[in-house]
């Protein structure tokens, strides 16, 4: 089963770092971990992806555990615009499809 496990919701104060965890214990050695986020009434947007080593881009950082069974999306300074549902995804075995669960709903407190 290629479903990941994330907390349903998290809160963060504005301008503080946020660490969003994800468990993906069934991931294969060649599957990338992807993170997307969805703002209200919009389609999900790409945030970051990685395979083994930690990754950084202008939006976030991705820390991947050494055994690859978990990862953490890091928003270095949360803003109100970061309030969204964050999805952690690994591809399904067939057709390279992505399974989107309910994700983590992030609330940013001013």
Partner 1 sequence: DGGITQSPKYLFRKEGQNVTLSCEQNLNHDAMYWYRQDPGQGLRLIYYSQIVNDFQKGDIAEGYSVSREKKESFPLTVTSAQKNPTAFYLCASQGQGPRGYTFGSGTRLTVV
Binding mask 4-43 for partner 1 (x = CB under 8 A): ----------------------------x-x-x----xxx
Dihedral angle sign, alpha carbons of residues 100, 40, 50, 75 = negative
Shortest distance, position 15 Cβ to partner 1, whole Å: 28
Query: Which class for 63: exposed (0-12), middle (13-18), buried (19 or more C-beta within 10 A)?
Result: middle
What is the pairing mode between strands 18-23 and 70-75? antiparallel
The count of chain residues that interact with partner 1, using the rule CB under 8 A, is 22
Distance of closest approach, residue 97 Cβ to partner 1, in angstroms:
6
- For the chain, the maximum distance between any two Cα atoms, rounded to a whole number of angstroms, is 43
Site residues, partner 1 (CB under 8 A): 32, 34, 36, 41-46, 49, 51, 87, 89, 95-103
């Amino acid at each position: 089963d290629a479903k990941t496990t994330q907390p349903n919701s998290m809160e963060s104060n504005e301008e503080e770092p946020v660490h969003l965890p994800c468990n993906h214990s069934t991931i294969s050695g060649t599957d990338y971990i992807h993170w997307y986020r969805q703002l209200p009434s919009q389609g999900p947007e790409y945030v970051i992806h990685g395979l083994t080593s930690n990754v950084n881009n202008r939006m976030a950082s991705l820390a991947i555990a050494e055994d690859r069974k978990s990862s953490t999306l890091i928003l270095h300074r949360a803003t109100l615009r970061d309030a969204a549902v964050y999805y952690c995804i690994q591809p399904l075995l067939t057709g390279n499809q992505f399974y989107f669960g309910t994700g983590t709903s992030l609330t940013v407190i001013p």
